Amino acid sequence: MAATAAVATLLLTSFFFAALHVSSNPDTKPLLSFKATSDASNKLTTWNSTSVDPCTWTGVSCTNNRVSRLVLENLDLRGSFQPLTALTQLRVLSLKRNRLSGPIPDLSNFTALKLLFLSYNELSGDFPASVSSLFRLYRLDLSYNNLSGKIPATVNHLNHLLTLRLEANRFSGSISGLTLPNLQDLNVSANRLTGEIPKSFSTFPITAFAQNPGLCGSPMQSCKGTPNDPTRPGSDGAIASPVMPAANPTVVASSPSSLPGNSALNKSGNPHRSGSAKMSPEALIAIIVGDALVLVLVSLLLYCYFWRNFSAKMRQGKGGSKLLETEKIVYSSSPYSAAQPVFERGRMVFFEAVKRFELEDLLRASAEMLGKGGFGTAYKAVLDDGNVVAVKRLKDAQIGGKTQFEQHMAVLGRLSHPNIVSLRAYYFAREEKLLVYDYMPNGSLFWVLHGNRGPGRTPLDWTTRLKIAAGAARGLACIHDSCGPLKLTHGNIKSTNILLDNTGNARVSDFGLSVFVPPPPSTSSAPRSCGYRAPETLDGRKLTQKSDVYAFGVLLLELLTGKCPSVVDNGGSGGGFGGLVDLPRWVQSVVREEWTVEVFDLELMRYKDIEEEMVGLLQIAMACTAASPDQRPRMSQVVKMIDEIRGLSGSPSHETGFESMSESSALSEDTCGASQ
């Protein structure tokens, strides 16, 4: 009997604490109230008062035990969502494809809201005036409802708004007063709007304004009663011509000379023009002869100048193999020093499955410089047989000797992986060191991410960025795991060293060359100029695999933010050294203020349903850039985490990415040790 009483007491105690926990969460009551009034079909089966934690309910996500994300789509929910307005910490609310009805309730409590999706419901009434108070809002989708009235100018208060979807409603009135400079996604089609489309909206497609018979202006038909402007996109039949219709003499022509007042100016203000008709034939002949003599004299001077330079170059190159820089690669005046005949001439050393050629073939190759880096200059070389390779000429390298160089090249040359730029051959001589790689035709990640940020740019979409991150992670993990416990490092991870092959796969390049770079002076601030350097390496300490992980984390932040970690931040908010953007510190400061969305590249905000993946990759990047090296994950762990975001964790082809290297690339510890 006593035992039964004890059990009953325990049950009552546990029930009391469970009820206390539920009542202690202020978001539980409004959620249950919404279910009671809107879930007639009982789709929200996990929502009940006996459940201890509402953060585990269907569609609910929490931050610090408060509901921050509520996604309830296509659940046949009905009525009003008024009870949900008590969720004051909500950041994402999506109630798409339900049967919610009535006016949109007051949303002013949603001070943290960033994404609001209410499309495909039966909501009615005016545009919600309270929306203008949601100053953190990035996306607003009210499309496919029965909303009516005017779109208020107070929408302009939403300075961060990137998406505005209002199509398929019954909105009326003018939108000419709307000014949303950051807007990237707009659709107001299938309404009853009238008046002129704002000039700032003229870059959106015509489908964004279709089925509004009263709308006019670019990109639709020009408004009646407005003179055609030849400089304005979409104006009908406007022709840029200096000859304007006589019926409109006040219109300024495209040529100043056709202004009505210019005739008087030509008569009095330009005597050369008015007197040219009275010039004598002798004067005209003298002018022509003088011009001809001046032209001959200038041509003669130019000829003498260039002939002297050409002759000097020919004398310097006589008996040697030096070629003109504009046509060929200039490696050196000779592959070996003529002043020291006892020194052995270098030779090309090739690795497996590579078509062999000689140094003279490279010297004859037509080439173009790809860029200069810390390890030397890279060229694209097209051989006589049409084969294309990339050649890196090492410069200012601190190489101990031929044996050490060849041993290290043997290690690098045997690394083979789909996400690594393979070293195919090398050349060593006293005055020259050349490395030959596969040529990557699509350039570097730096160029596709930061190049041509002006009009007409094709943004790097999220799927491609995630694919590049995964490929680069696999390549770096292969480098780290190739020599087992001896821990080979890359030493120079950055976006210019992530190249893209002809299928768009990421390839890690320039690996293993950091051993040839002399350490910077301890008093120099040069190390800080590279935003990829781990904190522990700024004082000259040795590069490690964990410093590679840090650099890779910065690379992920670069993909997420669109910011270059090694450029001056004119805004002054980069939190960097000497005006440089310190991406990890800047991101941490933004996330600390719970403005995580502010971190992401604006070009990514046009893509829908990727927030979770972006936040997931951001968490990986922040783990990689931890201040303490011991707190950073291994690259093999980073590969698995990125694969989980991509939904590829169960794919055998990805699980065995860098473990399935061929035997030729599986390096022994002896081989690896030779390069240490």
CATH assignment of the domain containing 77: 3.80.10.10
Two structure tokens written together for 184:
């990237």
Q: CA 355 to CA 544: how far, in whole Å?
A: 34
Residue 453 has a pLDDT of 61
Least confident of 185-194, 601-610, 653-662: 653-662
* Alpha-carbon separation of residue 205 from 228, 318, 458 (angstroms): 20, 63, 16
Mean pLDDT on 443-457: 77
Residue 79 has a pLDDT of 93
- Is residue 35 assigned to a domain? yes
Cβ-based neighbours of 55, under 8 Å, separated by 6 or more? 61, 62, 65, 67
Sign of CA dihedral 554, 557, 559, 561: negative
Query: 163-165 and 139-141 as β-strands: parallel, antiparallel, unpaired?
Result: parallel
Residue 581 has a pLDDT of 60
Two structure tokens written together for 548:
């590679």
Count the Cβ atoms, other than its own, within 10 Å of residue 97. 16
Residue 230 has a pLDDT of 39
Residue 37 has a pLDDT of 92
- Is residue 492 assigned to a domain? yes
User: What does the CA dihedral 200, 201, 205, 207 come to, rounded to 10 degrees?
Assistant: -170
Answer whether residue 282 shows pLDDT above 70: yes
Q: Is 392 annotated as a binding residue?
A: yes
Which structural domain, as residue segments, surrounds residue 119?
A: 25-216
- Is residue 406 assigned to a domain? no
**pLDDT band at 66, cuts 50/70/90?**
confident
Two structure tokens written together for 640:
């698995």
- pLDDT tens digits along 459-505: 789 999 999 999 999 999 998 988 766 678 888 899 989 999 988 89
Count the Cβ atoms, other than its own, within 10 Å of residue 242. 11
Q: Identify the domain boundary among 162, 183, 216.
A: 216
- Is residue 651 assigned to a domain? yes
Kindly state the DSSP code that residue 45 receives in the 8-state scheme.
T
Q: Identify the domain boundary among 178, 195, 216.
A: 216
Answer whether residue 670 shows pLDDT above 70: no
- Is residue 337 assigned to a domain? no
Q: CA 167 to CA 189: how far, in whole Å?
A: 5
Residue 662 has a pLDDT of 31
Answer whether residue 623 shows pLDDT above 50: yes
Here the CATH number for the domain that contains residue 617 is: 1.10.510.10
Residue in 136, 241, 234 with CA at minimum distance from that of residue 182: 136
Across the chain, what does the average pLDDT equal?
74
Answer whether residue 545 shows pLDDT above 50: yes
Specify the pTM. 0.53
Answer whether residue 68 shows pLDDT above 50: yes
Number of domain units in the chain: 2
Give residue 231's identity as a one-letter amino acid code: T
Least confident of 2-11, 170-179, 497-506: 2-11
Residue 636 has a pLDDT of 92
- pLDDT tens digits along 306-359: 766 655 554 444 333 333 332 334 333 333 233 333 344 667 788 875 567 777
> Cα-atom radius of gyration of the chain, to the nearest Å?
34
Two structure tokens written together for 493:
């991870």
- pLDDT tens digits along 83-102: 999 999 898 899 999 999 99
Q: Identify the domain boundary among 216, 243, 277.
A: 216
Give residue 638's identity as a one-letter amino acid code: V
- Is residue 151 assigned to a domain? yes
Answer whether residue 29 shows pLDDT above 60: yes
Cβ-based neighbours of 216, under 8 Å, separated by 6 or more? 195, 196, 197, 222, 223, 224
- pLDDT tens digits along 229-262: 433 444 443 333 333 333 343 333 333 333 333 4
Coil/strand/helix, residue 99 = strand
- Please give the share of the chain, as a percent, with pLDDT higher than 90: 25
Answer whether residue 635 shows pLDDT above 80: yes
Mean pLDDT on 518-543: 65
Least confident of 115-129, 257-271, 366-380: 257-271
- Is residue 43 assigned to a domain? yes
Answer whether residue 364 shows pLDDT above 80: no
Answer whether residue 568 shows pLDDT above 80: no
**527 vs 608, residue with greater confidence:** 608
Residue in 187, 196, 195 with CA at minimum distance from that of residue 169: 187
- Is residue 324 assigned to a domain? no
Residue 398 has a pLDDT of 65
Residue 452 has a pLDDT of 66
**28 vs 430, residue with greater confidence:** 28
